[in-house]
Structure 1
Amino acid sequence: MQYQGVLTKMQTEINDPIQYYLVFESDFIHMNQLLDKKVRIEFVGYQCLACGENKKIFRQGYCYDDFYNQPQVGDWVMRPELSTAHLGIEDRDLEFEKKAQLQPHIVYLANSSNVKVGVTRKSQVPTRWIDQGAHEAIEIVEVPNRYLAGITEVALKEKVADKTNWRTMLKNEITDEDLISFKNKLKDFIPNEVKEYFVENGKETQLRFPVLQYPNTVKSLNLEKTPEYSGVLKGIKGQYLIFEDNTVFNVRNNEGYVVSLTIT
């Protein structure tokens, strides 16, 4: 079987284990069915997710120009505390920013390599946790806009990490934590204007990933340095494909790359 298309992050479905789908313009690939099969990945070119042109991808699937122009990659995306739509202040496109920022957001704890704090739109729960490779997660607060989520994250990351060690996550060197207790210890550090949104009775969400074999060491596949690669797929975790020879491929980090996939 052979497929060709532009990489975007894999779509997921919560199940036991998580179900993964790679979506191309004319193909829909159920990635769980490829476990234990040989997969050949060939780099074909670029296609910017905004302009659609064959221009070198700069970041997050966009060419240089679009990365600095498109509203969906404004600074407030990575730093929610910079959100200004609630004040009616435009960054790049106020209407887009109102739709994205003025909706319920969750500040959460997720445990993938360690317990970390993060922010996501409520509509992206549990997708965000799956994408991070978290095996357990819990909501801390549910707020009405992105700004309030952002200032909460800033306050809490003085007490808990806000980064994931992706190598540890992929090697499955993880420890289960009591996230309810962890959350309750953070309650006093939530900003005063957010305390009313604390989620009192939340439960942990447990997630299991389709992995047959975890890598002992981690070798990251870079398509520009290695434009052709073949390996036996042994697992999927977060947005990573894990191969038998310890090679891992981050699908999300390669958004906007045109690839050919051959399955044998």
Structure 2
Amino acid sequence: MQYQGVLKKMKTENLEQIQYYLDMKTDFLNMNQLLNKEISISFVQYECLNCHLDKTVYRQGFCKSCFFDIPQAADWILKPELSQAHLDIEDRDLAYEKVVQLKPHIVYLANSSNVKVGVTRKGQVPTRWIDQGAHEAIEIVETPNRYLAGITEVALKAHVADKTNWRKMLKNDIEDVDLVVWRERLKAFIPEEAQQYFIENNSETSMNFPVHKYPEKPKSLNLIKTPKYIGKLVGIKGQYLIFDDETVLNIRSNEGLVVSIEV
């Protein structure tokens, strides 16, 4: 069977074992069903996720002109503390920014390689944790807007990591930690404006990834440099496909590439 479509973040379901789906335009591929099968992936062309033109992807699946123009790629996306919609101040598109920024946001702790702090919209729980390859996570603050979550994250990352070590995550080299203990330890460092939004007495959420074999020395596949790759799929974690020769493909970093997948 052959499928073709532009790579976008895989959709997920947090069931007993996480289910992964790749949108191939005319088909939804359940990637779990491809485990232990040999698949071929070939780069066909670019397709910007915004303008849909065959233009070189610059960042986040967007061509350069779209990246510097559309609100979906503005600085506050990666730096929530820069959000200003709550002040009625526009960055690129105030209507869009109000829709996204003025929703409840969660500040959380996740353990994917080590304990890290992060921010996501409440509606993205637990999707955000799955995308980061976290095998456990806990909500610590729920704020009414993105700005308050952002300044909370900035304050907390002085005391805990805010990045995932992707190699350790893929090797399943995970520190054994108690996120409830970490939540209580960090409470004192939450900014005064967000203290009232601290979440008491909640428990961790666990994630079970479909991985048959973890790589010891993961090698990242770049489809531009290696436009055709064939390998046996042995696992999926975060947004990575893991193959039996320890090659890993980060779907997120290859967004905006049209690929042909043959099973």
1:63 aligns with 2:58: no
Q: Structure 1, residues 168-212: CA drift from partner, whole Å, max 9, x if none?
A: 000001122110010001000000010000000211001110000
- Separation in 2, partners of 1:24, 1:45: 14
1:5-84 matches, within 5 Å, as 5-84=5-84
Number of residue equivalences:
263
Whole-angstrom distance in 2 between the partners of 1:238 and 1:28: 18
Quote the Cα distance in structure 1 between the aligned partners of 2:186 and 2:193: 15
Q: Structure 2: which amino acid aligns with 1:133?
A: G
Q: CA deviation at 1:81?
A: 0.3
Map 1:202-241 → 2, pairs under 5 A: 202-241=202-241
Q: Point out where structure 1 has 5 or more consecutive residues left out of the alignment.
A: none
Q: Does 1:144 align with 2:144?
A: yes
Distance 1:31 1:106 in 2: 29
Residue identity in the other structure for 1:243: F
Matched ranges for 1:169-208 at <5 A: 169-208=169-208
Query: What is the alpha-carbon distance in structure 2 between the residues aligned to residue 32 and residue 177 of structure 1?
Result: 29
Q: Does 1:121 align with 2:121?
A: yes
Question: What residue in structure 1 maps to residue 257 of structure 2?
Answer: 257
Percent sequence identity over matched residues? 66
Q: Residue 2 of structure 1: CA displacement? A: 0.6
| Structure 1 SS opposite 2:231 | strand
Q: 1:108 is aligned with what amino acid? A: Y
Q: Structure 2: which amino acid aligns with 1:163? A: K
Question: Matches of 2:245 and 2:163 in 1, distance apart?
Answer: 27
Matched, 1:244 2:237: no
In 1, the alpha carbon distance for the partners of 2:68 and 2:100 equals 18
SS of the residue 2:186 aligns to? helix
SS at match of 1:152: helix
Please identify runs of 4+ aligned residues in structure 1 that moved more than 3 A. none
Q: Please tell me the residue identity of whatever aligns with 2:158.
A: E
Aligned residue identity for 2:143: V
Give the conservation status (yes or no) of the 8 Å contact 1:69–1:92: yes
- Offset at residue 159 of structure 1 (A): 0.2
Q: Tell me how far apart the structure 1 counterparts of residues 196 and 247 of structure 2 sit (CA, whole Å).
A: 46
- Residue 153 of structure 2 corresponds to which residue in structure 1? 153
Normalised by the length of structure 2, the TM-score is 0.99
Alpha-carbon shift at residue 16 of structure 1 (Å) = 1.8
Query: 1:199 is matched by which residue type in structure 2?
Result: I
The code of the aligned residue for 2:115 comes to: V
- Unpaired runs of 5+ in structure 2? none
SS in 2 for 1:170: helix
Task: Report the TM-score, using the length of structure 1 for normalisation.
Answer: 0.99
1:39–1:231 CA contact under 8 A, matched in 2: yes
CA distance in 1, matches of 2:60, 2:262: 25
Shift of 1:17: 1.0
> 8 Å contact 1:16–1:209 — kept in the other structure?
no
Equivalent residue for 2:91?
Answer: 91
